[in-house]
């Protein structure tokens, strides 16, 4: 792919992005599925770093809109973390709930969210491939990429911290509380980190262990 083709793909994408955002802003009473598409399209475009970075942004774009309850968001996040695959798949779950809340088909909501969240990255990657062929030999480009990587790591840490501050659910907290409010969850988090970092515990085992420890706490507290 030539750099001209790559540039055309990127330019075409940003044209559709601007059009979608203009309609989203100018026409407040757009159909729910379009509004959902625009929000997810925006999220998929401006997210850098991947992984946990997407979670706070998705919370902003679905919970703040009133489509998904904060408690359902956090429960869904826990379920998504228990399964393999990228966190972007969380958008499918949220799209389904948002559609149900608006009286629409859950399948339609899931499909719209899935297309909208993944399309920006797929399009931009293909466009960038053409430009990358011409630019990859330049030293300043490599320096830019190192800076982007460092910034992305910072965003991941920020996202994890924000999730930490709302990750504790109980009967009296619909919006989530800090995991640091309860020493038990601090111990569970530390155990998972130490096990994965120094003892080679794989992710599925850490998830299952966390679930078991959650049941232990439930049994102790509710006894």
Measuring CA to CA, which residue among 116, 94, 98, 114 is closest to residue 45? 116
Examine the pLDDT at 78 and tell me if it is beyond 70.
yes
Most confident of 23-37, 73-87, 111-125, 152-166: 111-125
Domain regions of the chain by residue span? 3-136
Tracing tokens 């026409």 back to the chain, one arrives at: 27
Mean pLDDT of the chain: 85
pTM listed for this prediction: 0.79
Section 185-213 average pLDDT: 88
Q: Give yes or no for residue 44 having a pLDDT over 80.
A: yes
Residue 171 tokens, joined: 């009967």
Q: Quick check: 163 pLDDT over 70? A: yes
Q: Report whether pLDDT(38) > 90.
A: yes
pLDDT of residue 99: 94
pLDDT at 25: 85
Cβ(127)–Cβ(7) under 8 Å?
A: yes
Is 110 within 8 Å of 92 (Cβ atoms)? yes
Tokens for 129, please give them.
Answer: 């491939």
Q: Are 117 and 91 in contact (CB under 8 A)?
A: yes
């Amino acid at each position: 792919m030539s750099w001209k083709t790559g540039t055309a793909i990127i330019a075409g994408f940003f044209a559709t992005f601007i059009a979608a955002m203009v309609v989203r802003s100018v026409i407040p009473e757009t159909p729910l599925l379009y509004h959902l598409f625009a929000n997810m399209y925006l999220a998929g475009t401006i997210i850098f770093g991947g992984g946990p970075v997407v979670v706070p942004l998705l919370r902003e774009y679905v919970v703040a809109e009133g489509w998904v309850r904060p408690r359902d968001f956090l429960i869904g996040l826990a379920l998504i973390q228990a399964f393999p695959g990228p966190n972007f798949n969380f958008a499918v779950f949220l799209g389904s709930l948002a559609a149900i809340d608006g009286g629409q088909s859950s399948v339609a909501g899931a499909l719209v969210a899935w297309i909208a969240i993944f399309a920006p990255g797929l399009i931009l990657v293909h466009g960038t491939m053409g430009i990358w062929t011409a630019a990859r030999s330049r030293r300043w480009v490599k320096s830019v990429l190192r800076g982007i990587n460092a910034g992305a790591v910072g965003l991941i840490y920020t996202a994890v911290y924000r999730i930490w501050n709302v990750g504790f659910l109980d009967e009296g907290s619909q919006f989530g509380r800090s995991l640091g409010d309860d020493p038990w969850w601090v111990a569970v988090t530390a155990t998972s980190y130490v096990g994965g970092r120094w003892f080679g515990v794989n992710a599925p085992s850490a998830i299952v262990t966390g679930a078991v420890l959650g049941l232990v706490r439930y049994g102790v507290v509710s006894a």
